[in-house]
Structure 1
Amino acid sequence: MKRLFLSLSLFYAVNLSAQQADYPIKAVNFTAVKLSDNFWLPRIQVNHQVTIPASFARCENTGRVKNFEMAAAHSGKFCTKFTFDDTDIYKTIEGASFSMAVTPDKKMDRYVDSLIAIVAKAQEPDGYLYTARTIDPLHPPEWAGPERWVNEHSMSHELYNSGHLFEAASAHYLATGKRNFLDIALKNADLLVRTFGPGKRGVAPGHEVVEMGLVKLYRITGRKDYLALAKFFIDERGKRGYKKDSENEWQNGKYWQDDKPVTAQDEAEGHAVRAMYLYAAMADIAAIDGDTAYLAAIDRIWDNMTGKKIYVQGGIGAVPDGERFGEDYELPNATAYNETCAAIGNAFWNERMFLLHGDAKYIDLLEKVMYNGLISGLGLDGKSFFYTNAMEVRDDFKHGSLERSRSGWFECSCCPTNLVRFLPSVPGYMYAQEGKKVYVNLYINSTATLKVENSDVVIRQEHDYPWEGNILLKLDPVKATAFELRVRIPGWVNGEAIADGLYRFKDTKADAAVIAVNGKVQPYRVEKGYAVLNRMWKKGDVVSVSLPMRVKEVLADGRLVDDEGKVAIQRGPLVYCAEWKDNGGKVSNLFGLGDKWDVVMEKGMLNGVVVLRGEGKRVEVRDGVVDTREEKVTLIPYYSWANRGEGEMSVWFLEKVRGVSLR
């Protein structure tokens, strides 16, 4: 099956090249990279063995599969809560397809085919596929609206369902070569082409993703009407009449990114997941059509997000009410929302921004998101999940969206199924190419096979990242080949906590990355965050990259009021936190952390983590008297919290006590 995926991907790439331009930089297909590391590979294996089967089982147990069966029979009552519940099946099939491309699984393949057959029977003759209406067209759920499409601009999610159908069917076709799912998607896409467009029905989809899905179908089929429809949906934004003077984001259109045309937008706004999917689709169109207005808009929006609207661990969407971005610098810790789906969408968008610009700052942010606020959404057991990702948990504070522990499933389970489809694709973020330029973006032990100047080049990574920063890249070209190896020097090495300066390291000194080729230290120039090594590469060449991993204190921009006078702790790409389990059952009263840390690998803890052990202070009330004392402090990687029971957790720590509130 892997060989099939590779041959299909090659056909897909050749076909695309023959059609027209696309991203100037091309990601190396994930099937060309075989992982061997101890960090990501076990997670991907658990995803295949545990998470995907559990997701399919929950789709059955919660009635999601039954909805399709009832739609096929045109009988019954829609039995789940949300009109977009169909997509949990689509996303799980997408994840299974990615996973089977590298781990063939006949049993899973047969099961996926059985689900696709059920989906096919639920599709209406003209291609419409939306179980919430088809089961009982006269009595659809309220969100669906009384007729097709009439509520699409807000909450029906008809086009959202189509978008995830398109993405899943594309993955399944490329993974298996089968057309059974793709044909369902194309039938639905053809209905959309007949229904929407200039002189037809117009709408700005209430929840974006159909735009990304249409682009994927375009790349497979070469059908320009699919691409045109994706752009049409994007350009419909800003046309609907809203109450422009209202501060309510649902009433003024900001919640839907619909308050103004996309080319006039300059800040990350509204529902965070919707926003990420929109900006990713705009990047796709900018790459394919050369739309400079789209490009300028997403550049402005990215600067706004990274400079004013992102948490220190890469989380976005601060406001629980609407799962949305707040105003500039509105990043409270106690009520932080940080939906897991938003983190995944942020990863999608940042990869695309890199493919457009070739700048390492986008991979820096992608890495921050992946290692912190994204994988925190999945428990180490592979079957428990966070929908939201807290910045602090206190015993004396609760709010409706705060999750103190992970859950097996949710009524709205978009996040678990999004994780299912993201994890198998991780190897595809590691390398990219632009002609004779080979980009090394992520450091994960692996063997990758690339083609440079029509010659095979194998690159092996050997190291213990993210725990240590000594990287070995072993190159084995079939024949001596001249090309540029572009090795990312992470921003955290250069003294940059995040692009645009919303967070900064207390110690502003930049560390020096040392690079050697075949044991000889090499001078190198840095271009857009990459060390450029241009030479004739021969079999057996070894590049060693030393990335200093000092423990660093992070400070926030003074306009982030919740972080004033506080520090966070980062080592390498990992943001750390204190959890109750390691710190006497309580962490909300810790402050004054020292600057000396013991870096200790604990192989038997949390599936193997590097912990930081140091000194701090604790303030307590003993017999009515306020007491401050020195305390041993242990920090763990943020992603790993809440795997050992419920209790307090904190990312930010006061440097000193500024006052006491009596009660």
Structure 2
Amino acid sequence: MMTSKLFLLFLGLGVAGPAVAQHTDYPIQAVPFTKVKLTDSFWLPRLKTNTDVTIPASFARCEATNRVKNFEMAAAKSGKFATGYPFDDTDIYKTIEGASYSMSVYPDAKLDAYIDGLIAKVGAAQEPDGYLYTARTIDPAHPHAWSGKERWEKERELSHELYNSGHLYESAVAHYEATGKKTLLNIALKNADLVCSVFGPGKRTVAPGHEIVEMGLVKLYRVTGKPEYLSTAKFFIEARGQYKGYDAKSHDPFKNGQYWQDDKPVYNQKEAEGHAVRAEYLYSAMADVAALTGDKKLLAAVDTIWNNMVAKKLYVTGGTGAVPGGERFGANYELPNATAYNETCASVADVYWNQRMFQLHGDAKYVDVMEKVLYNGLISGVGLDGKSFFYSNAMQIKSSASFPQTEPARAGWFECSCCPTNLARLMPALPGYVYAQNGRDLYVNLFVSGTSNLSIGKQKVSIIQQNNYPWDGGLKFTVNPAATTDFTLLLRIPGWARNEAMPSNLYTFATPSGQAATLKINGKPVAYTLRNGYAVLARKWHKGDVIDLTLPMEVRRVLANAKVKDDLGKVALQRGPVMYCAEWKDNNGKTSNLIVPVGAAFSTIYQPGLLNGMMTLTATVPAVEVDASATAIRTVPQTLTAIPYYAWANRGKGEMTVWFPERITDVDLLSQPATTEATVGK
């Protein structure tokens, strides 16, 4: 671990301490999103839609659904909690967080004033000692049923009191960093001081039921340098596995504590388990605390859990949380398609976790997984209109006249609306995932056109990216140091461009590619050394130096590990970082009758007018048909059109599939009486 300076921002915060402190931290630091200005045609429009549509819609829905009213009633100590869940406060915090990030890029005086008004309502709802939880404060004698009669009484299972606090802290830091205002930060610090006074060694002990307070406390520690915030985050992490009320022998994850990641101490946990969002927030916090304290045992634990998730519990789209009951990880290799859950919030959490793992280890495999999530399982959660969402992200939709399946439709809001507001806060922070630094090493992680301005040593350096990623593999980087300078540029060569479908054997490409990534500097081909998935370019850089990286953009057939029973005999389609699916709209109204045999040859075409512009895949494949008499079946050639998975369900309801059978191995007439389907071997 390296030691770096933490500048403590004590002025006006009521925190005593030195001006500068030394501490252990991540060896690799992300280049702040405010230093990276995007110009690309893929992510920039999405960020603009988030700013123009998603954030205003989220605030409007917080008003319309009485989430704001809850704060007003808490301030008045009068009324009845007006929404469904005690964690509904967090939708306001998360939207403020997203809006704060957005205002850093798109200043908006009207939005700024509106947020100031919201923060005033939040502050008025806070109790004198710092407690902030509208589900109790409105009417302490009759709190929400999940809240318990006393503070913190049901924190382990239901109340979400510390979950609310965690999102408050994250929001407060974002608002402070974006605006310089301490209004929300002071509210958060008052609450955090209360939390630290209640919980800790010799005080109250609890493993927070829904993690994120640990991440939030770490962020407050980074801003203030107050050691209690870091030590309390570590205390909460280490409180897991101490509860004596669970039935350790039960296979019910609720009864044995696994749902809450509370069945054993974190140091002894080996698998990603329980509620996926809670888990990935915990694992993110474990990485934070390991980095900040140098706890090697904690680092080993989070490494082991990450390896389990990537090797045995990750969908090919990057989605996590296979089991609808409890929104949780299933057993190893339990990755069903028809019932896949893949909560959008879990993809948000997975981005946070993989970024932290990269900052710990400097290995491209973490960014490979993060890229997989970003281009597939994350943005599938928001419609192209920016105001319709999926809570869960399906892998297969099939219906028939006799066994109709209710096809999912995107919704503008949910009673439990954590996912829309989580997307609202992540999207504007995306530029902060493009680059990272470790001294004179500069990592290029994501390929997004734009300009970054940073410092290497004492030298100002600008990096300009120009590309049409993810549709085109030709990437151009212009390096502009203020003066000639030495540093090492580490350019990620994605795993998919190195014949690696996943940094594990969970998914593999059906056949190896003969193409390889190529590099040129100032027009001349250069050989490069790979280090942890990065092309290492160590040299003296001059203003105007140009790097051309060409990535092979073939259509690749992806196979799942044989232990993933739902995918036996099936194939998925990938091009670059993008996973594809077939949707009813492009395939004669059905997708469940399509076969993709080994010899199928795919063509690509960019369609600027389709779903905001995308590369589509087409091939002639066999399609199973039932004849007019309904007594015979046959296969007929049909054009299969595949679109990026993220874009499905923007044109109405209907069938969709990610995994295609490669051949017919059986005909099932009994389970679906009115239909005949191609099935794989049983």
TM-score band w.r.t. shorter chain: over 0.9
Q: Is the 8 A contact 2:7 2:19 kept in 1?
A: no
Structure 2 counterpart of 1:117, from 120, 132, 137 = 120
What SS does structure 2 have at the residue aligned with 1:516? Answer: strand
Residue identity matched to 1:648:
E
1:661 paired with 2:668, answer yes
Counterpart of 1:643 in structure 2 is: 650
Shift of 1:316: 0.4
Shift of 1:572: 0.1
Give 2:325's aligned amino acid: D
Partner of 2:100: 97
Aligned-pair CA distance for 1:458: 0.3
What amino acid is the match of 1:102? Answer: V
Does the 8 Å contact 1:388/1:401 carry over to 2? no
Cα deviation 1:115-139 (Å, max 9, x = unaligned): 0001011000000000000011111
What are the Cα deviations for residues 414-449 of structure 1, in whole angstroms up to 9, with x where unaligned?
A: 000000000000000000000110000000001001
Residue equivalent to 2:556: 552
Counterpart code for 2:611: L
Q: Distance in 1 between matches of 2:8 and 2:206?
A: 34
Partner of 1:630: 637
Q: For residue 476 of structure 2, what is the aligned residue in structure 1? A: 472
Rounded Cα–Cα distance in structure 1 between residues aligned with 2:488 and 2:151: 53
After TM superposition, the structure 1 stretch with the greater mean CA deviation from structure 2, 17-26 or 273-282, is 17-26
Using the TM superposition, give the Cα deviation of residue 509 of structure 1 relative to its aligned residue in structure 2, in angstroms: 3.5
What is the rounded CA distance, in whole Å, between the counterparts of 2:610 and 2:576 in structure 1? 19
- Verify the 8 A CA contact 1:494 1:510 in the aligned structure 2: no
Q: 1:612 aligns with which of 596, 613, 617?
A: 617
* 1:42-121 alignment, distance < 5 Å: 42-121=45-124
- What SS is found at the alignment partner of 2:652? coil
Give the CA deviation at 1:511: 3.2
Q: Distance in 2 between matches of 1:397 and 1:287?
A: 55
Instruction: State whether residues 409 and 653 of structure 2, in contact with CA within 8 Å, keep that contact through their aligned partners in structure 1.
Output: yes
The structure with the largest helix share of the pair is: 1
Comparing 492-501 with 507-516, greater Cα deviation is found at 507-516
- For the residues of structure 1 that align with 2:196 and 2:571, how far apart are their CA atoms? 52
Would you say the 8 A contact 2:592–2:656 is kept in 1? yes
Work out whether residues 7 and 21 of structure 2, in 8 Å CA contact, stay in contact via their aligned partners in 1: no
From 121, 125, 141, the counterpart of 2:144:
141
Runs of 4+ in 1 over 4 A off after TM superposition: 9-13, 397-403
In structure 2, distance between residues paired with 1:69 and 1:11:
34
Q: Give the aligned partner of residue 5 of structure 1.
A: none
Tell me the CA shift for residue 18 of structure 1.
3.1
Q: CA deviation at 1:512?
A: 1.3
Q: Which amino acid aligns with 1:466?
A: P
For residues 263 and 211 of structure 1, do their structure 2 counterparts lie closer, same or farther at Cα, with a shift above 3 Å needed?
Answer: same
Task: Find out whether 1:356 has 2:360 as its counterpart.
Answer: yes
Q: How far apart are 1:595 and its partner, in Å? A: 3.1
Aligned to 1:405: 409
State the shift of 1:661 in Å.
1.0
> Could you report, residue by residue, the CA deviation over 1:152-203 in whole angstroms, capped at 9, with x for unpaired residues?
0111000000000000000000000001100000000010111111111110
CA distance in structure 1 between the partners assigned to 2:405 and 2:487 by the alignment: 50
CA contact (8 A) 1:170 1:182 kept: yes
Q: Distance in 1 between matches of 2:197 and 2:313?
A: 39
* Residues 1:466 and 1:149: Cα distance change in structure 2 (over 3 Å): same
For 1:561 and 1:10, how far apart are their aligned partners in 2?
52
Change (3 A) 1:400 1:353: farther
After TM superposition, list the pairs within 5 Å mapping 1:145-156 onto structure 2: 145-156=148-159
Cα pair 2:28 2:360 within 8 Å, conserved: yes
Kept in 2, the 8 Å contact 1:388–1:402? The answer is no
Q: CA deviation at 1:592?
A: 2.7
The amino acid of 1:352's aligned partner reads R
The C-alpha deviation readout for 1:441-495, integer Å capped at 9, x for no partner, is: 0000010011001111000000100001110000110000100000000000111
- Where in structure 2 are the equivalents of 1:282-321 lying within 5 Å? 282-321=286-325
Q: How high is the TM-score relative to the length of structure 2?
A: 0.94
**Mapping 1:147-296, distance limit 5 Å:** 147-241=150-244, 242-296=246-300
Q: Which residue of 1 aligns with 2:14?
A: none
What one-letter code is carried by the residue in structure 2 that aligns with 1:68? F
Letter in 2 for 1:513: A
Q: How many angstroms apart in 1 are the aligned matches of 2:405 and 2:442?
A: 43
Q: Distance in 1 between matches of 2:247 and 2:203?
A: 25
How is 1:122-133 mapped onto 2 (pairs within 5 angstroms)? 122-133=125-136
Q: Deviations over 1:254-279 (max 9, x none)?
A: 00000010000000000000000000
Task: Report whether the alignment pairs 1:382 with 2:389.
Answer: no
User: Aligned pair count?
Assistant: 654
Q: Tell me: CA distance 1:123–1:591, structure 2 relative to 1, closer, same or farther (3 Å).
A: same
- On the 8 A contact 1:313/1:369 being kept in 2, the answer is yes
Q: Which amino acid aligns with 2:513?
A: K
CA distance in structure 1 between the aligned counterparts of 2:523 and 2:235, rounded to whole angstroms? 55
For normalisation by structure 1, the TM-score amounts to: 0.97
Structure 1 letter corresponding to 2:620 = E
CA distance in 2, matches of 1:61, 1:414: 16
Structure 1 402/29 Cα, relative in aligned 2: closer, same or farther at 3 Å? farther
Q: CA deviation at 1:240?
A: 0.0
Equivalent-residue separation in structure 1 for 2:126 and 2:403 (angstroms): 41
Q: Tell me the SS of whatever aligns to 1:211.
A: helix
Look up the match of 1:488. 492
SS at match of 1:252: coil
State which of 408, 417, 435 in structure 1 corresponds to 2:421: 417
